[in-house]
Each structure stands twice: as C-alpha cells, then as structure tokens.
C-alpha cells in the first residue's frame, strides 16, 4: 500500500474532530496555567491529506514558524507537532521571559527551552486526551524545536513519517489569548495501524 | 510579453520544462532539490526528493520520492523532452536538519544527510558532479531555477537569497 491518503468517513472524521476538541481543551488549559493568561480556542477543522501535500496546505510556506515536534511510540505510533507563527512565539516569549529575539539567529538557550516546554505541554495535552479516551498507550519521545520556514519544518516531519504508512491530519485551529496575539495549530500524523486502533477502541468503523 | 511560468515542485514531484519558465522547491528541509539542465536544448527539470531509497515492500510510490528512483526518472524525462545526457549540468540544495534545539542525539534517522549522500551517489554513478551544491546544516531552503538565465538561487529565512550557481556559465 502506498502512503496516499486514507479516506476518513464522515463518522471517523467527526471522531477525530472530537478527540482534537478535547485534546485542544487540555492544551489550552496548559497554556493558561503556564502564562497566567486566559486562552480560547476555535473549533478545530480536521483534514486528512496525502502526506506530501501537507506542507502546501499550511498557510504561507515561506513564513517563519516555531515548531515543537515529537515522535510517538506505543499502541498509536506517529508524529505530532505544534506550530506557532514567529510573531506568536515572540508574544509568548514576552509573556514568559520578558523579552523576545527579533530573528531566529538571536534565539538564546532560554528562549529555545521555553519554546520547547510550551510545545511539549500542548502536544502532551493532545496525546493524553487520546490516551485517556481510548485506553491506548502513546509515548512521546523528547521534543525537538525548529525555528524556520513553515514548509521546510513540515516537510522534514513528513519525511520522518513516510517510513511507515501514515495518515496526515492537519488539525487547523487557533489557540489564542483574548487579545488575539498568540495563535498556533497542530500537525498530527498517526500511523495507519495506530489510527485503526483508535477507531477500534472507540467502536467506530473508519470508512462508515 | 508573456510572463514565464514558475512551477512549484511539491514533495516527491518531478517537473520538466522546455524553452522558458522556471521551477521552485519551497521549503526544503531534509528534502533535496535537484535541478538538471541541458542549456543547448533549453530543457530543464527539477526533482523534490524526500528519502534516500525506495522501500522494497511498497509498490505504487512516486519515483520522485526517493533518490535512487528520482535520479534515473529525471534523466529519462529530460531525454524524452530532447535533452542530451552528455550536455546536462546539475545542482542540488537541501538535506538540512531543521530541528536543532533539544533532544540531543535523537536525530537517529539523519534523513537530511543521508538524502544528500544518496542523491550525490546516484548522480556520480552516472558521471555527474553538481556545478553548485548547498547541502546539510540546519537551515530550511527555497531553491529556484530560471531556465532563460540558468541561474539557481537559494533562499533561507535568516540569510536571504543568494545565487548558488549558473547552469549556463
């Protein structure tokens, strides 16, 4: 089988959307606890696309993004990344560190590790909710951060994911603070086998 | 005057043009952008390679996805469009490791480095050495070729755009 898209039925898509909804609520709470700000979230749009198309559907491919990426082992293997536009990352640094670098060349170890911790927390929020609802295990490997053009970052994750038949789910939502200065979204790429396990554990027929 | 088209070469794609226009690979991370051109025949092509080698157990994959299938496929398409193998010149860019913060030593797959090595090996085995190459490091790159001028540029977020080489010179 090639790595073309696994077509999600209406039911399967709405299940993924609900999982995302709950996971994002966890992620939003985590962001709020860390920053002391109130965060809100737009209703997520879930889209399953061919892996290779993923870099071209995520906004300006040349835009600068701060991405926290983790690969996932366990019952539901795969890859997850939380991406923030550069301007949002700067706002987050201002809130948490008190200053913000103007370019990726000026990022200090402190700024990098703050970005890593935020991404780690929100990714874990999403993964934990999937694990809680399904009873399946998802073990994230240590996070890695990139600050570079969006397409290059997403393409690099897609390359890692293409070793195993996988489903690219872009969970397009915005996590934003009430002044709308911070936003972000997820790329979640479970393996085909892992996503089937999720559906089976919830009693959903994937193509129904 | 008609505006020459610039073809965006997505992941795992190969495109070939004759006469005018150009190509871009947007956002090469660990992927490799491979350009080849026959300046005399005005035929050029670009491949956006994702992985070093094809999987033995998977059929139906795009040839442009893997270094070992992309190089011969690009050459075949160029010849079909009128290029002569002995006149082809090439350049490559990409193969970066964009995740440079955190989790030291977990880049076990090292896809960027392996992609660059694989593309260079498959070019070399057919007698080609890139006229220009910018591979490795940690920066994402956008690579563009304009057929009329033969000029290849590489753009990064922090270092801007610079000329890599001229395939006509």
Q: Chain B contact for A5, CB < 8 A?
A: no
| Interface probe, candidates A68, A102, A112, A149, chain B, greatest B C-beta count within 10 A | A149
pTM for the structure as a whole: 0.89
Predicted pLDDT at A103: 93
Q: State the pLDDT confidence band at A109, using cuts at 50, 70 and 90.
A: very high
Q: Give chain A positions within 8 Å (CB) of B28.
A: 152, 155
If you ran DSSP here, which 8-state letter would residue A106 be given?
A: G
Domain A10-201: which topology?
A: Chemotaxis protein chec (3.40.1550)
Predicted pLDDT at A154: 93
Contact (CB, 8 A) for B112 and B139: no
The pLDDT of residue B1 is above 60: no
CA A194 from centre of chain: 16
Predicted pLDDT at A2: 40
Q: Domain residues of chain A, as ranges?
A: 10-201
Structure tokens at B112: 């960027």
pLDDT digits (tens, 9 = 90+) for B3-25: 568 999 999 999 999 999 999 99
8 Å CB contact of B51 and A145:
no
* A 73-132 residues with CB < 8 A to B: 103-105, 107, 112-113, 115-116
Q: Name residue, tokens 């801007």.
A: B160
Burial class (CB in 10 A: 0-12, 13-18, 19+), A33: exposed
Predicted pLDDT at B167: 96
Classified as helix, coil or strand, B103 is: coil
Pick the closest to residue B48 from B61, B35, B38 (CA basis): B35
A84-122 as b/e, with b when 16 or more CB fall inside 10 Å? bbbebbbbbbebbeeebbeebeebeeebbebbbbbbbbb
The pLDDT of residue A4 is above 50: no
8 Å CB contact of A105 and B111:
no
* CA-based nearest residue in chain A for residue B112: A156
Q: Chain B contact for A154, CB < 8 A?
A: yes
Task: Give me the domains of chain B, ranges plus CATH numbers.
Answer: 6-166 (3.30.1330.200)
Half-sphere exposure of A200 (CA within 13 A, CB side): 9
Query: Looking at residues B126-143, what average pLDDT do you find?
Result: 96
Q: Give chain A positions within 8 Å (CB) of B103.
A: 141-144
The pLDDT of residue B66 is above 70: yes
Residue with the larger pLDDT of the pair A141 and A174: A141
């Amino acid at each position: 089988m090639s790595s073309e898209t696994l077509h999600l039925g209406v039911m399967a898509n709405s299940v993924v959307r609900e999982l995302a909804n709950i996971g994002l609520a966890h992620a939003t709470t985590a962001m709020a606890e860390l920053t002391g700000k109130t965060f809100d979230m737009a209703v997520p749009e879930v889209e399953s696309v061919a892996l290779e198309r993923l870099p071209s559907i995520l906004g300006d491919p040349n835009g600068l993004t701060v991405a926290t990426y983790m690969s996932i082992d366990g019952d539901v293997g795969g890859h997850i990344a939380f991406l923030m536009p550069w301007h949002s990352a700067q706002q987050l640094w201002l809130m948490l560190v008190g200053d913000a670098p103007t370019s990726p060349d000026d990022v200090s170890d402190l700024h990098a590790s703050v970005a890593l911790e935020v991404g780690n927390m929100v990714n874990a929020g999403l993964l934990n909710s999937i694990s809680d609802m399904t009873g399946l295990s998802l073990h994230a490997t240590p996070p890695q951060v990139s600050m570079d053009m969006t397409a290059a970052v997403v393409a690099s994750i897609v390359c890692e994911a293409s070793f195993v038949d996988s489903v690219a789910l872009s969970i397009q939502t915005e996590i934003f603070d009430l002044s709308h200065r911070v936003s972000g979204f997820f790329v979640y790429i479970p393996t085909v086998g892992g996503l089937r396990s999720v559906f089976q554990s919830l009693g959903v027929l994937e193509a129904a | 005057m008609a505006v020459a088209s610039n073809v965006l070469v997505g992941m795992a794609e190969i495109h070939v043009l004759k006469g005018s226009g150009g190509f871009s690979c947007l956002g090469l991370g660990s992927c490799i952008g491979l350009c080849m051109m026959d300046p005399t025949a005005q035929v050029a092509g670009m491949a956006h390679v994702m992985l070093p080698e094809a999987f033995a157990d998977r059929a139906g994959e795009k040839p442009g996805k893997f270094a070992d299938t992309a190089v011969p496929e690009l050459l075949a398409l160029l010849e079909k469009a009128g290029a002569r193998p002995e006149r082809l010149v090439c350049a490559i860019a990409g193969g970066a490791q964009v995740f440079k913060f955190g989790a030291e030593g977990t880049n076990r797959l090292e896809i960027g480095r392996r992609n660059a090595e694989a593309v260079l090996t498959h070019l070399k085995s057919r007698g080609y050495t890139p006229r220009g190459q910018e591979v490795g490091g940690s920066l994402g790159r956008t690579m563009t070729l304009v057929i009329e001028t033969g000029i290849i540029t590489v753009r990064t977020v922090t270092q801007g755009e610079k000329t890599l080489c001229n395939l006509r010179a």
